[in-house]
């Protein structure tokens, strides 16, 4: 009888763990959540198109091997990119931009972690977490969790 009770307890605990882990997953993003123009005060701009193409303007590059300066002023990238849904480790859902560095021809990545409030969709680049991108007039977002930055600069 004791073995049967222990088995029942183990099964109930396993069911709770599976249910809790399923509930903690953020909702998936859809194209309408990210398509459009994302801007930052100061001029950076991300244009995301439904066909998977994008245009990046004056976006700080995340990696020295992607042409980023090791000096006091970081290099920025302006040019074409592609994008896919992806999540930066330990962050909310978002998208990843892929582009070729003009300096090194290396394939480079930039992540945009996405969230929303009642006024607009917003996001941040984990490698520049203190800068918030905004997509005005786009408050309806499938994933209603605001982005949070756990990346230390």
Find where tokens 């929303």 sit: 116
DSSP state of 10: H
Write out pLDDT tens, residues 83-140: 999 988 877 889 999 998 877 788 999 999 998 777 778 899 888 878 899 987 655 5
Residue ranges of domains in the chain: 27-136
**Residue ranges of E strands in the chain:** 36-39, 45-48, 53-60, 76-86, 94-100, 107-116, 120-125, 128-136
Write out pLDDT tens, residues 63-95: 766 755 555 556 788 899 999 999 888 778 899
What residues have CB less than 8 Å from 93, skipping those under 6 apart? 26, 27, 28, 29, 85, 87, 113, 114, 143
Does the predicted model carry a pTM greater than 0.85? Answer: no
What residues have CB less than 8 Å from 43, skipping those under 6 apart? 57, 58
């Amino acid at each position: 009888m004791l073995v049967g009770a222990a088995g029942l307890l183990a099964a109930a605990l396993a069911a709770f763990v599976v249910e809790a882990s399923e509930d903690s997953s953020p909702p998936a993003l859809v194209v309408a959540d990210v398509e459009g123009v994302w801007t930052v005060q100061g001029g950076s701009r991300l244009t995301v198109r439904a066909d998977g193409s994008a245009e990046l303007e004056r976006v700080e590059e995340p990696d020295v091997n992607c042409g980023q300066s090791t000096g006091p002023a970081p290099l920025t990238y302006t040019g074409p990119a592609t994008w896919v849904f992806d999540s930066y480790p330990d962050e909310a859902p978002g998208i990843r931009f892929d582009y070729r560095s003009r300096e090194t021809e290396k394939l480079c990545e930039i992540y945009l972690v996405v969230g929303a409030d009642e006024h607009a969709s917003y996001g941040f680049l984990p490698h520049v977490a203190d800068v918030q991108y905004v997509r005005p007039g786009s408050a309806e977002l499938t994933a209603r969790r605001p982005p949070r930055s756990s990346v230390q600069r």
